[in-house]
Structure 1
Amino acid sequence: MLRGMATTTYFADDLEAAKDWYAEFLGVQPYFHVPNGYYEFRIGDYQHELGLINRAYAPAGARNEPGAGGIVNWHVDDLEATFARLLELGAKEYEPITERGQGTGFVTAAVLDPFGNIIGIMSNPHYLDVLGRTGGV
């Protein structure tokens, strides 16, 4: 049974450029580093882990194209501003801002980062409800 997101990893041909781009977007530096192989950031209310892996270590048969895997949606407080910031930093629209269910408050969007990875963002009332019940802000 899935219990919640633990780590999301993205592959990058240019690991240093990916680290710099994500550090700029996230506003934090990675807290963990394996030389020429991996960077990891801790982000968000629950300090979820976002890892960047040198594409040389991708699983055999992994494809280097958009949409070759699932989309992890990260809850954000201001979807439109976050989407705009990602585009400003060079990401490309993958999925426009889309309301999911009329009037439910679930809204998603996705971009391709400059390294070919999909970043999903979302306004998610359920996330906020869980956060409130666990004492988060």
Structure 2
Amino acid sequence: MLRGFTTVSYFADDLDAARAWYTELLGIEPYYHVPGGYIEFRIGDYQHELGIINSAYARHDVKNGPAGHVIHWAVDDLDATLERLQALGARLHEPPTDHGGSGYITASVIDPFGNILGVMANPHYFDTLAKIKAGEHFTTGE
């Protein structure tokens, strides 16, 4: 059974450049680092793991087009987030797409290292977060 997001891994040929770029984007330093091989950040409301792996360790082609795994990260302001990502050198991959007119909007960019980074306006995420902060509990299937 899927229980929720835990870790997403991206790849970069230049791990030091990736560390600097993601540190600038996130405003924090990675909490874990294997020199030349791997860095990991803990981010967001649930301290999800964002790992950046040296491309030399990729088990699939990460050099001939966008790579990585597409996870859509909940954001407070989709347009402002896309603007900031592009200002930091990311290229627009998929423009904002409204899914049904109820506030669910996805978009993605390609980071400077060739990974697809998805972002999303997601009312359910924030409703759930508010309920958790209010002390409500959820059961499987909700």
How high is the TM-score relative to the length of structure 2?
0.89
Q: Letter of the aligned partner of 1:126 in structure 2?
A: H
Tell me which residue corresponds to 1:109.
107
Q: How do 1:1-137 and structure 2 match up within 5 A?
A: 1-59=1-59, 61-68=60-67, 70-102=69-101, 104-135=102-133
Structure 2: tracts of 5 or more residues without a match: 135-142
Q: Which has the larger radius of gyration?
A: 2
Q: Letter of the aligned partner of 2:103 in structure 1?
A: G
Aligned length: 134
Structure 1: tracts of 5 or more residues without a match: none
SS in 1 for 2:39: strand
1:65, distance to aligned residue in structure 2 (A): 3.8
Q: Is the 8 A contact 2:9 2:69 kept in 1?
A: no
CA RMSD for the aligned pairs?
Answer: 1.4
1:10, distance to aligned residue in structure 2 (A): 0.2
Q: Distance in 2 between matches of 1:21 and 1:68?
A: 17
Q: Distance in 1 between matches of 2:128 and 2:65?
A: 31
Q: Letter of the aligned partner of 2:50 in structure 1?
A: L
Residues 100 and 57 of structure 1: CA distance in aligned 2, closer, same or farther (over 3 Å): same
Q: Is the 8 A contact 2:10 2:68 kept in 1?
A: no
Q: Distance in 1 between matches of 2:35 and 2:48?
A: 22
1:19, distance to aligned residue in structure 2 (A): 0.6
Q: Distance in 2 between matches of 1:68 and 1:23?
A: 20
Q: Distance in 2 between matches of 1:36 and 1:83?
A: 29
Q: Distance in 2 between matches of 1:68 and 1:34?
A: 21
Q: Is the 8 A contact 1:107 1:123 kept in 2?
A: yes
1:68, distance to aligned residue in structure 2 (A): 4.9
Give the percent of matched residue pairs that are identical in Structure 1 and Structure 2.
58
1:44, distance to aligned residue in structure 2 (A): 0.5
Moved beyond 3 Å, runs of 4+: 65-70
How high is the TM-score relative to the length of structure 1?
0.92
Residues 69 and 21 of structure 1: CA distance in aligned 2, closer, same or farther (over 3 Å): closer
